[in-house]
Amino acid sequence: MSDVSDVSDVSDVSDVSDVTPADRPAAVDFRGVTKIYGRSTPREYTAIKDVSFTIADLPDHGEISSFLGPSGCGKSTVLRLVAGLEPQHPPTSGTVTVLGREVVGPGADRGMVFQDYTSFDNRTVLDNVAFGLECRGVSRRQREAEGREWIERVGLDPVRDATKYPHELSGGMRQRVAIARTLILRPRIILMDEPFGALDPATRLDMQDLLVKLWREVQATVLFVTHSVEEAVYLGDRVFVMATTPGRIAGDIRMPAAAAPARETQLEPWFHEQVQQLHEQIEKIESAAHHR
């Protein structure tokens, strides 16, 4: 991976050679992807340059890749390119492929959860969660049954909370609604852009546990953007460390799978070691970037 080579002296980038079974296309594949905003204008800015990585589509498994890096390094740009959302999509050069097909726009195979709670204010929790099914023409009876199931799965009360409106919910509850709304559609690929960034630390740990539990159930491939090293280590099977100016992948590291709840994992020595190592690596990447 060419992006890794220029900082290989500062990190023990483990070899994450791809384990995609030969007969399955990768879940997500970036080949030499560059995104220049405001091209040929005075505001021209290269957000990411020559980014290449492959995330395997693991049968009956799926995995979480965390994207970690300083503000402005292009994390949201990468995620939105996968989602096929403008103006990030299309890339200026290079190719973004999802499940073997070049991305041409948004699609039902991908679901996105944003940092800000993106629910409809004038719809109840149940109608928000069932919205995507409604768009697909699923009958009211069936979508309400499935909606209630998902409300329960994300830890809300399928009776009491179902009739509430978003303004009657806490931040954590709203984010549970956003997750249910996305997962009810069973996307193969879930894109999460700092979904827990606005939550208090305790709620955040609860949400991390919830995600690990749901992820085991739905077996989707998750791309998870975060500023938190702890979150990246806990949730990630793999952590991509990004560097800035221009945005690029500077490290690609395998992590042990989350086996215990976040609060317990955070007490384990290996967890501290991984977090410490990643902090050191990020510092080196950042100081290398300042001296370029």
Ligand X SMILES: Nc1ncnc2c1ncn2[C@@H]1O[C@H](COP(=O)(O)OP(=O)(O)OP(=O)(O)O)[C@@H](O)[C@H]1O
Residue 86 interacts with ligand X (CB under 6 A): yes or no: no
Quick one: 76 or 124, whose CB is closer to Mg ion? 76
Residue 71 interacts with ligand X (CB under 6 A): yes or no: yes
Minimum distance of Mg ion from residue 193's CB (angstroms): 6
In the chain, % helix, strand, coil (3-state, to 5) comes to 35, 20, 40
Residue 228 interacts with ligand X (CB under 6 A): yes or no: no
d(CA 266, CA 230): 8
Residue 244 interacts with Mg ion (CB under 5 A): yes or no: no
- DSSP class of 146: H
Chosen residue from 26, 54, 62, 74 binding ligand X by CB under 6 A:
74
Residue 129 interacts with ligand X (CB under 6 A): yes or no: no
Spatial CB neighbours of 210, under 8 Å, sequence gap ≥ 6: 154, 155, 176, 179
DSSP 3-state of 251:
strand
Considering only residues 141 to 160 of the shown chain, the ones binding Mg ion according to CB under 5 A are none
Tally of CB atoms within 10 A around 172: 19
d(CA 139, CA 148): 14
Residue 76 interacts with Mg ion (CB under 5 A): yes or no: yes
Chosen residue from 7, 13, 47, 222 binding ligand X by CB under 6 A:
47
Minimum distance of ligand X from residue 36's CB (angstroms): 9
d(CA 270, CA 284): 21
Quick one: 184 or 285, whose CB is closer to Mg ion? 285
Residue 87 interacts with ligand X (CB under 6 A): yes or no: yes
d(CA 55, CA 51): 13
Cβ atoms 171, 199 nearer than 8 A: yes
The residue ranges that bind ligand X (CB under 6 A) are 37-38, 45, 47, 69, 71-77, 87, 247
The residue ranges that bind Mg ion (CB under 5 A) are 76
